[in-house]
């Protein structure tokens, strides 16, 4: 099984959310459709702008924890380095 750490955004440079999951397609779908109660639904954070895979849940959880402690600038730099146009990557993961 693969675990994913992901970043969602409300718009380019907008509100960011970092999460971890064992099923990236399902989890991003839940955020997109407003099925996930809480922060992402409240602030309209639905666009998948970054993700990475991990072999273990421990590795994914540690990475998520580390990223959540980063400055906003570092998070934006990570997204811009891998997805400079802030494209929605959802279509890429469902293929």
**Per residue in 15-37, pLDDT tens?**
999 999 999 999 999 999 999 89
**Rounded mean pLDDT, 7-20:** 97
* Predicted confidence band of residue 1 (pLDDT cuts 50, 70, 90): low
Q: Between the CA of residue 48 and those of 15, 27, 55, 70, what are the distances in Å? A: 12, 11, 20, 19
Give ∠ CA 13-19-22 in degrees, rounded to 5. 140
Look at residue 79 in the predicted model and tell me its pLDDT. 98
User: Which of 65, 22, 64, 28 is closest to 45 using CA atoms?
Assistant: 28
pTM of the model as a whole: 0.96
pLDDT of residue 49: 98
What pLDDT score was predicted for residue 36? 87
Domains detected in the chain: 3-94 (3.40.1440.10)
Contact 33, 70 (CB under 8 A): no
């Amino acid at each position: 099984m693969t675990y994913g750490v992901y970043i969602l955004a409300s718009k380019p440079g907008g509100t960011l959310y970092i999460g971890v999951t064992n099923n990236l397609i399902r989890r991003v779908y839940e955020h997109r459709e407003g099925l996930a109660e809480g922060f992402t639904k409240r602030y309209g954070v639905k666009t998948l702008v970054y993700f990475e895979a991990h072999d273990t849940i421990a590795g994914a959880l540690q990475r998520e924890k580390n990223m959540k402690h980063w400055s906003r600038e570092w998070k934006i730099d990570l997204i811009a380095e891998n997805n400079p146009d802030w494209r929605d990557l959802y279509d890429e993961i469902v293929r």
